[in-house]
A = this chain, B = another copy of it.
Amino acid sequence: MDIPFSRIKGGVGAPLGFLTSAVSCGIKNPDSPRLDLALIYSERPCSSAGTFTTNRVKAAPVRVSQANLRKGDLRAIIANSGNANACTGVQGIHDAHAMCDAVAKPLGLKRTEVGVASTGVIGLPMPMLRFEPKYDDLLERLGPKNGSDVAAAIITSDTHAKEVSISFDLGEHRVRLGGCVKGAGMISPSMATMLCFITTDATISSDNLRKAVLECVEESFNRITIDGDMSTNDTVMVLANGASKMPAIRRNSANCKVFRQALGWLMLELAKAVVRDGERVTKFVTVKVEGARTYLDAKKVAEAVCKSALVKASWNGGDPNWGRIIHAVGYSRARIREELVDIHIGGKAACLGGLQAATPMDELREVVSFPEFEIVIHLNQGDAGYTMYSSDLSPEYIDFNRSEYAYWKQARKDGLV
């Protein structure tokens, strides 16, 4: 591992002083006991920070968590999968509050100290009656070894739970960071979310934590795309409880730098894991734009290429199609000059100065036959760059997303619609 951290087990339960649990309420699938309600709780007061979807249509739990974070720090997070609690109006806000209340009182917390997150189908009322008999069990199971249950309880169409935890030294103190994540954008079939929860036993003020979180999200979760569809529920929430007993991390200190580096690495690992586990994804593609006049130009080019249906279809087909890449570069609205554009695929020149390079086609085809490869687009106009992590788009993805009628049928059976 080329990073100064050690991987450890435990996910969000790995940092000291965090207890977690998860139960099955039959929301995701009434006939199968999959975990779908999770709780993260810190035994000590926490600093906290969060970032949320910029979609103007925001799910109720997003609105409630944002409001709670404005009022002070969180100390617990409750989350469910199977229903996004989005486009559910006043009732949705009421239901999100009820989820916070259900765990706040037994834990001795205020409602505003609980963050809440949901992921699942949009526009259906929350099946609150399925939660209520399970809250006692959820609280009873709280323990220091159940981090992976949280990761499992928040996934929907993901093929596996995704969590990363590490330990590293800040001065003389060993601290731990743990995180779990599900979905990305709206890759999920009828689901509507990317959820990420991160815990740490480092000691850091909320202000410093917020700054680190915003910077790290910008370089990780904001750089992935699978289908270009921004969700109504995107949520990243981070809790830091200081249980490592280290002195508080001061802004711009050496410790702050290491913590920022560790948090950034962890978020990027989680973000990449989301792309790799994208629905029916067969390729993980890193797109590096270099030589742009500005950061924004570089970003526009990377986003246009990573979101183009035709580029993504060619990746699915193992076709090293630089013509489609440069056509997306051209319509990105960045300031580019066709005759200066170089494109390298897996280190081999595919296009030089806007024209076909001499690399034999078979060499390029070999590169894109691998499940992971890198494309470098050099605009030769300046020094700015931007990197994104993307996937192919497969016929199976479209097929998978053709209908969520089954969810409506279930909601009707539950008497909700």
Contact = CB atoms under 8 A, between A and B. Distances in A.
B327 A57 contact: yes
B54 A231 contact: no
A122 B317 CA distance: 17
A327 B122 contact: yes
A31 interface: no
A405 B365 contact: yes
A86 to B, nearest CB: 7
A198 to B, nearest CB: 24
A395 B395 contact: yes
A1 interface: no
B317 A355 contact: no
B403 A338 contact: no
A186 to B, nearest CB: 5
A206 interface: no
A174 to B, nearest CB: 41
Interface stretch (A2-10, A130-138, A308-316): A308-316
A310 B401 contact: yes
Given A57-B330, A326-B87, A398-B316, A404 B321 contact: yes
A230 interface: yes
A66 to B, nearest CB: 14
B405 A398 contact: no
A361 B401 contact: no
Q: Of residues A54, A57, A324, A330, which shows the largest number of chain B Cβ atoms within 10 Å of its Cβ?
A: A57
A-side interface size class? 35 or more
Nearest to A232: B327
A261 interface: no
Contact of A356 (B58, B329, B336, B417): B417
Contacts of A231: 327
Contact of A355 (B54, B89, B397, B408): B89
B403 A317 contact: yes
A71 interface: no
A123 B57 CA distance: 42
B403 A323 contact: no
A122 B324 contact: yes
Interface in A366-390: none
Interface in A17-61: 54-58
Nearest to A335: B56
B355 A87 contact: yes
Given A56-B338, A89-B354, A417-B356, A326 B122 contact: yes
Interface in A119-167: 121-124
Which residue, A54, A232, A336, has most C-beta atoms of chain B within 10 A?
A232
A186 B229 contact: no
B309 A228 contact: yes
Interface in A292-348: 307-310, 313-314, 316-319, 321-324, 326-331, 336-339, 341
B398 A308 contact: no
A329 B57 contact: yes
Among A230, A327, A328, max chain B CB count under 10 A is at A327
Contacts of A354: 57, 87, 89
A50 to B, nearest CB: 19
A365 B402 CA distance: 13
Nearest to A122: B323
A392 to B, nearest CB: 9
Contact of A87 (B229, B307, B314, B338): B338
A394 interface: yes
30 contacts: A56-B330, A56-B331, A56-B336, A56-B337, A56-B338, A57-B329, A57-B336, A57-B354, A87-B326, A89-B339, A122-B323, A123-B323, A123-B326, A123-B356, A186-B324, A190-B323, A192-B323, A227-B309, A228-B307, A228-B308, A229-B331, A309-B398, A310-B401, A313-B398, A314-B403, A319-B402, A319-B403, A319-B405, A356-B417, A398-B398
4 closest cross-chain pairs (CB), A and B: A317-B402, A57-B330, A122-B323, A395-B395
